[in-house]
Amino acid sequence: MKKQNFLFILLIGLMLLAGCSDSADQAKQENKEAQNHEKKEENQKQDKKSPYIEAYKPIQPSKEAVALEKNYTEEEQKLMPANEAHGGERERSVPLGQTLQKGKEDKTNGPLKDHRLVAFYGTPLSENMGILGEYGPEEMMKKLKEHTKAYSELDPERPAIPTIELIATVANRDPGPDGLYVSPPNEEVIEEYAKLAKKHGALLLLDIQLGRATVMQEVKAIEKYLKLPYVHLAIDTEYSVQEGEVPGEDLGQVNGADVQKAVEYVDQLVEENQLPDKLVLVHQFGNGIIKNKEKIHPTEHVQVPLNYDGFGDAAIKLSAYGKLVKDQPIQYGGFKVFKKNDKPVLTPEQVLQLDPAPAIVNYQ
């Protein structure tokens, strides 16, 4: 009887040991699966970042570069918009290197997260539409890199990327055969500047002027280029006109919901083609040109900077940036400098005094 009891107890013990062993094995397996999942997620993150390393080459600051001081001269302070929250004193409310607007977030690995874009705007088809028409491609790139370097020196923690902003579809006063008042993309020109950007580690911003075409019509016209890892989108809203209006004679207007369709479309292109995250730059000349601006917002794969591109008196421009960009934030700010039409032409030091500091500075 005692022998039977002993065998019974031994059997129970062996069963318990087997159960513990199974539990331990199961725990090990679950731990291994968790580690594999974490590793897979990390690899996916790295895979997502890796293409961007090849998509552009920021202009690195020199070892001696020191961030721009926040103590400005009396003359520079006169150009800065007053900060009413500080009793009218001209002070910055955010650090120089912070370009993401207050209360906004960036879920992407896009270029604006750690860098600034310095762009030359225009088309080689016209000397009157910007810098790209004033110089040959290589000479233009040399000057662009010099401008870009200046911003990297002033804000070394955010190395700037040389960027070509090429007008891909041009609004005209002639309705054309389709009655849309816009010229179709010149593929020869786009391909030339795409190759130029790739050669120099620059980004290419394809700017669409709309005429009477819809935002999505013009986006789809350049879609094959947006599938390149270093090509991004810019929308010139002021040239979008309605029936009875003519671009250049009548100031246009775009609905923010239509802009958002383009943002989401580009986001989809990134997902479907496994591209680096992109940006959609939205130009705004004045108040009211973008209707329902609150409809525009960034996505998981697309950054959305709002670019103020008015020209003329510098003090008015700085004030307008505050009203149209800072006070109506989307995600990042951009600022255009007109070499021939601004008075005075702001220096990079003065541009970086803006609050928030622009993530994109373009020159026309």
Report pLDDT digits (tens) over 201-223: 999 999 999 988 899 999 999 99
pLDDT of residue 30: 58
d(CA 74, CA 20): 77
- pLDDT score, position 129: 83
Residue 362 tokens read as 């373009």
Q: Tokens 């040959």 — which residue?
A: 136
For the chain, the domains span 114-363
What per-residue confidence (pLDDT) applies to 32?
56
Q: Could you tell me how many helices (H) and strands (E) the chain has, helices first?
A: 9, 12
Interacting residues of 32 by C-beta distance below 8 A, sequence separation 6+: none
Give the angle 43-49-51 at the CA atoms, nearest 5°: 110
CA 182 – CA 173 distance, rounded (Å): 8
Closest CA to 132 of 165, 87, 90, 181: 165
Query: Any idea what DSSP says for residue 325?
Result: I
Average pLDDT on 98-123 reads 93
On the question of pLDDT at 176 being above 90, the answer is no
Query: Could you read off the pLDDT of 261-293 as tens digits, one per residue?
Result: 999 999 999 999 999 999 999 999 888 889 999
SS3 at position 298: coil
234, 280 Cβ separation under 8 angstroms: yes
- What percentage of residues in the chain have a pLDDT greater than 70? 77
Average pLDDT over residues 117-142: 93
* pTM score, whole prediction: 0.80
In which band, very low, low, confident or very high, does the pLDDT at 317 lie, cut at 50, 70 and 90? very high
Q: How far apart are CA 64 and CA 145, in angstroms?
A: 18
Does domain 114-363 fall under CATH 3.20.20? My reply is yes
Query: 308, exposed or middle or buried, with CB in 10 Å at 0-12, 13-18, 19+?
Result: buried
Chain segment 11-59, per-residue pLDDT in tens: 555 555 555 555 555 555 556 555 554 544 444 444 444 455 568 999 9
Distances (CA, A) of 87 to 83, 90, 275, 316: 7, 9, 47, 20
Q: What sign does the CA torsion over 259, 351, 311, 336 have?
A: negative
pLDDT score recorded for residue 41: 47
264 burial level (CB within 10 Å; 0-12, 13-18, 19+): middle
Q: Give the Cα separation of 341 and 272 in Å (integer).
A: 42
Tell me the backbone φ, ψ of residue 146, rounded to 5 degrees.
Answer: -65, -45
Least confident of 36-40, 228-232, 240-244: 36-40
Q: Which position has the higher pLDDT, 75 or 259?
A: 259
**Alpha carbon distances (Å) from 336 to 87, 217, 351:** 29, 26, 9
So what's the pLDDT on residue 29?
59
pLDDT on residue 46 = 44
